[in-house]
Amino acid sequence: MTFQNPKQLLLSIPKWILICTLIGLLSGSASAFFLVSLEWVTQFRIHYNWIVWLLPFGGFLVGLIYYYWGESVTKGNNLLLEEYENPQKTIPFKMAPLVLLGTLLTHLFGGSAGREGTAVQMGGAIADQFTIFFRLNNSERKILIILGISAGFASVFGTPLAGAIFALEVLYFSKINFKSVILSFLTAYIAYFTVEFWQVKHTQYNIPFVSEINFSSLFYTIILGILSGLAALLFARSTHFWSSLFSKNIKYPPLRPVIGGIVLAIAIAGFGFTKFSGLGVPVIVDSFSTPNEWYDFLLKILFTGFTLGAGFKGGEVTPLFFVGATLGSALSLVIPMPIALLAGIGFVAVFSGATHTPIACTIMGIELFGLQPGIFIAIACTVAYFSSGSVGIYKSQIVKGPKYKLYQKINFKTKNSEFQNF
């Protein structure tokens, strides 16, 4: 938004501070409630693991809820991206309770999903309601969407710096004005401290030993970055594939998670793949000290893509952490670098490739693991960003910047070569 005079600018400051405070407090409180509820349903599932056999029933509930009451918000995170790029109408507030309920049901019965999408959608839905209260125009409404995403991400992961930058970067960083940057950081920290106020704890990770910076360690970091980018590409393609397959072959939406739930219940409860249900945080934590099997990250990609593609609700980011951490952990058997360092690098690098947000992921890695492994994290996130292809987990995300230009050149050369061959 461009202000006509300094007086207008000064008058707007209290308004935007109030908006940031309200969004931060409300979104942070929503995330705190969500995290506590998520922990409760997870512990219930662990203690009563027979409930996984009811996954088709849980899927049917989720399907019915969205079919009859949530058709306008079923796009989830993609709806936020679309409304930012081309504002049409205020995001319905019902997105927040529906995604909360859908995600809790998914995790209660053992679906493989994350939590970022839920927090971001709650934050976005809460934030966009202030469009009406403060009579904001489309330009100001875009700022609200940034603030909602920032608040949701920062509060659910306990990473305010990364949350603020993620909201800006995922929405096409070069088009964001300076005002949005300041407000995004302010809202992220308010949401973060709100969760702290409610005494909700986040998972702690530790990298006790970091390799020396030399040719060998940097080379292996680049290799891990490439593999992380390819894993991110596979994750995104898998999710889109299963979603397309279910929508094309099962016309009645509530039936999709029922069919998916039957397959998942048999695989998880019948064949013992329980560690791939839910968030998988214990597996992520263990990967920092114990090498994983080489196929663990592939199975998590399969289970998560299938779960979300079938119509269950939840985020993709924690499963991406699982994929990256277990990939790095498994590679510790062949790469002569500390296992915790490799797991930590993979943790954020796969996320970077899948969301096209290398800056936010680098900051997140430093927030979670400290400044010492920062150079390795930055290199791996950048390499993963460039090697993960042009399609990420968010279909509606518009990818710009250096990656966009690179793929434009590749596509132009390919088309030109094909024309000459023809």
CA dist 113 and 41 (Å) reads 13
**What pLDDT digit, counting tens, does each position of 73-126 carry?**
999 999 999 999 888 899 999 999 999 999 999 999 999 999 999 999 999 999
Confidence of residue 357 (pLDDT cuts 50, 70, 90): very high
Tell me if 8-197 shares its fold with 215-402: yes
| For the chain, percent of residues with pLDDT exceeding 70 | 91
**Model confidence at 419: pLDDT above 80:** no
Distance, CA of 21 to chain centre: 24
Average pLDDT over residues 38-59: 97
CA dist 136 and 184 (Å) reads 17
Residue type, 301: I
What b-and-e string marks burial along 316-328, b requiring 16 or more CB atoms within 10 Å of the CB?
Answer: bbbbbbbbbbbbb
| 218, 40 contact by CB (below 8 A) | no
CA dist 120 and 112 (Å) reads 18
Supply the pTM of this predicted model. 0.93
pLDDT, position 7: 59
CA dist 76 and 79 (Å) reads 5
Residue 204 structure tokens: 């702690």
**What pLDDT digit, counting tens, does each position of 379-399 carry?**
999 999 999 988 899 988 876
Q: How many CA atoms lie within 13 A of 257 on its CB side?
A: 30
Look at residues 363, 357, 417 and name the one whose alpha carbon lies nearest to residue 388: 357
Confidence of residue 205 (pLDDT cuts 50, 70, 90): very high
Question: For the chain, percent helix, then strand, then coil, each to nearest 5?
Answer: 75, 0, 25
Between the alpha carbon of residue 69 and those of residues 55, 62, 139, the distances in Å are: 21, 11, 29
Query: How is domain 8-197 classified at the CATH fold level?
Result: Clc chloride channel (1.10.3080)
**What pLDDT digit, counting tens, does each position of 210-229 carry?**
999 999 999 999 999 999 99
Average pLDDT over residues 283-292: 98
Cβ neighbour number for residue 193 with a 10 Å cutoff: 16
**Model confidence at 421: pLDDT above 90:** no
User: Where are the domains positioned within the chain?
Assistant: 8-197, 215-402
**Model confidence at 253: pLDDT above 70:** yes
**Model confidence at 137: pLDDT above 70:** yes
Residue 393 structure tokens: 């987990």
Distance, CA of 184 to chain centre: 17
| Ramachandran angles phi, psi of 280, nearest 5° | 80, 25
Average pLDDT over residues 307-313: 97
Residue type, 178: F
**Is 169 exposed, middle or buried (CB count within 10 Å of its CB: 0-12, 13-18, 19+)?**
buried
Look at residues 211, 240, 213 and name the one whose alpha carbon lies nearest to residue 332: 211
Who has greater pLDDT, 85 or 198?
198
Instruction: Output the average pLDDT for the chain.
Output: 92
| 396, 85 contact by CB (below 8 A) | yes
Between the alpha carbon of residue 6 and those of residues 2, 3, 11, 375, the distances in Å are: 11, 7, 9, 42
Under DSSP, the state recorded for 173 is G
Write down the H helix ranges in 109-214.
Answer: 116-128, 130-133, 138-157, 160-169, 178-197
Give CA torsion, residues 407, 116, 111, 48, to 10 deg. 160
Domain 215-402 - what CATH class?
mainly alpha
SS3 31: helix
Listing DSSP states for 376-407 in one string gives: HHHHHHHHHHHHS-S--S-TT----SHHHHHH
Residue type, 403: K
CA dist 59 and 62 (Å) reads 5
Residues 6+ apart with CB under 8 A from 329: 287, 288, 290, 291, 292, 339, 342, 343, 346
